[in-house]
Chain A
Amino acid sequence: MLRLYFVVFYGQERINKAVKTHIHESPNGMLIPLYILAALSIVAGIMNAPEIFHGNKWLENFIAPVTVLSGIHLDHATEWFLMSISFLCIVMVGVFAYDKFVKKGKVPQNDEALNDSTFSKLLRDKFYVDELYEMLIVKPAYSFSTLMSTFFEEKIIHRATNGAGRLTLFLSGKIRKTQNGFISYYLFAMALGVLGLITIFILF
């Protein structure tokens, strides 16, 4: 944030002349909401000010059901220690950014032109979370969908239903041939049937 702030507002000027003539303070329509937001951001900080500053825990009490389980109480020394560390870090980064972008007037390069270390590349590519998500979730989901619709749906579900119809037609084609209209065949079939029934009755 400090890098952004110093480069934009205090850094070396890089605006071309045509654009420069248009620059002016923002209109009230933008300024008023910004005033309100700025005021509220301070209020939000005070709402849950640390105990050493006699903070009231308004925020914590307000969202009590959520925070009741945490039950963490820090002694004052730890509170001082944590606050000092984070404050010190912010100051250090601020000084570094001021020195680099305001005093020395360095202009950050375009991302494309950058040939930098692995770490800043990792930061610039957002730790590759998007790529990981694409690889682990999106692509497998689509591949699975293609597999299901081309294989399971088409080859198994549809074939099973259509196959039942085809099987009926096939069997009907075969069995139909027994109905050939010759009485002698029917008599023969009847004799076979009677013989079969007699055999069953004798055996069982």
Chain B
Amino acid sequence: MNILIIILLPFLSALLILLAGKDYSQRIALISAAASVIAIGVMMALFDKDATTITSIDLPWIKSMGVHFHLGADGLSLLMILICNVVTLISMYVSLGDTFSQHRLYFALLLLMQTFMNGVFTAQDLFLYYIFWELALIPAYFLLLIWGKGKDVKPATIKFFLFTLLGSLFMLVAIVWLGNIGSIADFSLATIYGLEIGTQEQLFVYGAFMLAYGIKTPLFPFHSWLPDTYTLAPAPVTIMLSGVMSKMALYSIIRFVLPVVPDAVEQYGIYVVYLATIGVMYASVIALTQKDLKRMFAYVSIAHVGLIAAGILTYSVLGIQGSLIQMAAHAINTVGLFFIAQILFRLKGNFDINCFGGLRQYMPVFAGLYMVIMFGSIGVPLTNGFVGEFIIFTSLYRLDVFAALIAGSGIILGAVYMLTSYQKIMLGPDTDTTLTDITNSDKTLLYCIACIVIITGLYPSWITSLCDVSVQNIIHPYLQK
């Protein structure tokens, strides 16, 4: 199956929504998102795990600059596209529960965001990658600005946009430099991977790339845009941002930083590992006293992506494999948590943890499903969060015991704040007897998420076997040098 379909399907659907009548927008969006999931499913089924890349399209685009419209996907890309498409489908489904003004524009923007993020995961040309990377920011900006809630939406949106753009500009400089090292300008990944770059220059490229990815992931102390953005965005947009957009940066570290500047990672990677693990601890400490549930989940997300980044920068097969499992786990768990926050918001009209109590008596099914997803997020054995976390810890421990210790304490705190908030919301006395259990459509989605949490926990090896060749290709050239 042609990889182009992954980009074209949501893009054309977005155009169709803008042209079609008002009544059809929801249906088109949902069908398109479901079709995208089916498409990636078929692609994965047909994928030959030993093949390195399925290159399906390579057209010269801007000849004078040596830029190609070159798309392709290996196991790593397929995993990321799967995450992106599943999370988009969930986001569409969650959107059905609320009414949005100008919903044609709303659904079109969500689909465009999916298009560009899929572009990031499939681009085989560094320049094309950068274009997709920046394009993905634009729908996010409008989704946040138009449908965000609260009086601080405008400043928060501008902060989010400018902050992430600032980082990306440094990356642009590095990309232009990388593309012009040879006698002719060439941005194709194969050429860039083959470049012999001096240690000094590697450090410069490493710094520029990591600034962009550090802000987008985000790593401590570049995270200040995240809590406001996640809290003020409408739930489906928060789901897209936390589920997929943070993975864009983590994927890019694996795809571009590790193979292009291996010496710099070898020498200076440990500093970013420290920064990331301190971030895990820091975000967990702050989450401990948050009263706003959505804000707390935002800090939980910072802690988890910090751990994933640390795993990647251990620069070992083990660390990267663990991080990939954890990326898939984080995408599902964080989406589940933000959906739970949205359900609770619909009940009482705010996210204040102290407003709730004793909900378990009235919503037993919801309580059970919330618990499964929470366990996944904490990383309890047999849930999806455990395997990745365990592997990352092992790789961190081999690299540096101290880093493993810091990250470990953060994870322990994770259990504390998650269980405490669950206890406050779900257990104890409550006087509000008018509540009933959640609707069947909400239940269906939570059941699906809980099933993925458990199935991936029991059988995580599909991720490692899917990405094994890609990871070996990224790590091996360096080991052979």
Q: A residues touching B (Cβ–Cβ < 8 Å)?
A: 141-142, 144-146, 148-149, 153, 157-158, 160-162, 165
Cross-chain contact B286 with A148 (CB below 8 angstroms): yes
Cβ < 8 Å to A, chain B residues 265-309: 282, 285-290
Q: Which residues of B contact A165 (CB under 8 A)?
A: 158-159, 162
Are A145 and B224 in touch, CB under 8 angstroms? no
Q: Are B159 and A149 in contact (CB under 8 A)?
A: no
Asked whether A153 and B413 contact (CB < 8 A) given A161-B225, A165-B162, the answer is no
A141 / chain B contacts, CB cutoff of 8 Å: 285, 288, 413, 416
CA distance A158 to B227 in the complex (A): 11
Q: Between A and B, how many residue pairs show CB distances below 8 Å?
A: 35
Contact B221 A157 (CB under 8 A): yes
Nearest Cβ on chain A to B21's Cβ, whole angstroms:
42
Q: How far is the CA of A160 from the CA of B289 in the complex (A)?
A: 22
Q: Which residue of A lies closest to B284 (CB)?
A: A145
Enumerate chain A residues within 8 angstroms of B224, measured Cβ to Cβ.
157-158, 160-161
User: In the complex, are the beta carbons of B225 and A144 less than 8 A apart?
Assistant: no
**Chain A: minimal CB distance from B286 (Å):** 5
Question: Is B286 in contact with A162, judged by CB distance below 8 angstroms?
Answer: no
Determine if B221 and A145 form an interchain contact, defined as CB atoms under 8 angstroms apart.
no
Given contacts A157-B221, A158-B224, A161-B224, contact A144 B285 (CB under 8 A): yes
User: B413 and A149: CB pair below 8 A?
Assistant: no
Whether the Cβ atoms of B285 and A148 lie closer than 8 Å is yes
Which residues of B lie under 8 Å from residue A158 when comparing CB positions? 224
Tell me the nearest residue of chain B to A158, going by C-beta.
Answer: B224
Give Cα distance in the complex from A145 to B287, angstroms: 8
Set B159, B285, B287, B288: member contacting A161, Cβ < 8 A: B159
With beta carbons under 8 angstroms apart, the residue of B163, B223, B225, B288 that contacts A145 is B288
On chain B, the residues within 8 Å of A153 by CB distance are 286
Known: A146-B289, A148-B285, A165-B158. 4 other contacts (CB 8 A): A142-B289, A144-B285, A149-B289, A153-B286
Q: Is the CB of B289 within 8 A of A161?
A: no
A143 to B: closest C-beta gap in Å? 9
| Cβ–Cβ contact A149 & B163, under 8 A | no
List chain B residues, Cβ under 8 A from A149.
285-286, 289-290
The 3 closest A-B pairs by CB, nearest first: A145-B288, A145-B289, A161-B224
Q: List chain A residues, Cβ under 8 A from B413.
A: 141
Q: Which residues 203-240 of B have a CB within 8 angstroms of A? A: 221, 223-225
Q: How far is the CA of A40 from the CA of B215 in the complex (A)?
A: 60
In angstroms, how far is the closest chain A Cβ from the Cβ of B214? Answer: 13
B285: chain A residues at CB < 8 Å are 141, 144-145, 148-149
- Smallest CB–CB gap between A82 and chain B, Å? 39
Minimal beta-carbon separation of A170 from chain B (angstroms): 16
C-alpha spacing A58/B221, complex, angstroms: 56
- Whether B159 lies near A145 (C-beta < 8 A) is no
Digit string of B123-163 for contact with A (CB within 8 Å is 1, else 0)?
00000000000000000000000000000000000110011
Alpha-carbon distance between A144 and B285 when the two chains are bound, in angstroms: 8
When each residue 393-428 of chain B gets 1 if its CB lies under 8 Å from chain A and 0 otherwise, what string results? 000000000000000000001001000000000000
**How close is A29's CB to chain B, nearest CB, in angstroms?**
26
Chain B residues within an 8 Å CB radius of A146: 289
* Bound form: Cα–Cα A165–B163 in Å: 10
Q: Which of B159, B282, B416 contacts A148 (CB 8 A)?
A: B282
For A162, what are the chain B residues with a Cβ–Cβ distance below 8 Å? 159
* Chain B minimum-CB-distance residue to A161: B224
Taken together as a complex, chains A and B put the C-alpha atoms of A149 and B299 apart, in Å, by: 11
A–B pairs, 8, beta carbons within 8 Å: A141-B413, A145-B285, A145-B287, A148-B282, A149-B289, A149-B290, A160-B224, A165-B159
Question: How far is it, in angstroms, between the C-alpha of A162 and the C-alpha of B162 when the chains are bound?
Answer: 11
Question: Which residue on chain B has the smallest CB distance to residue A138?
Answer: B416
In the assembled complex, the CB of B119 is this many whole angstroms from the nearest CB of chain A, namely 29
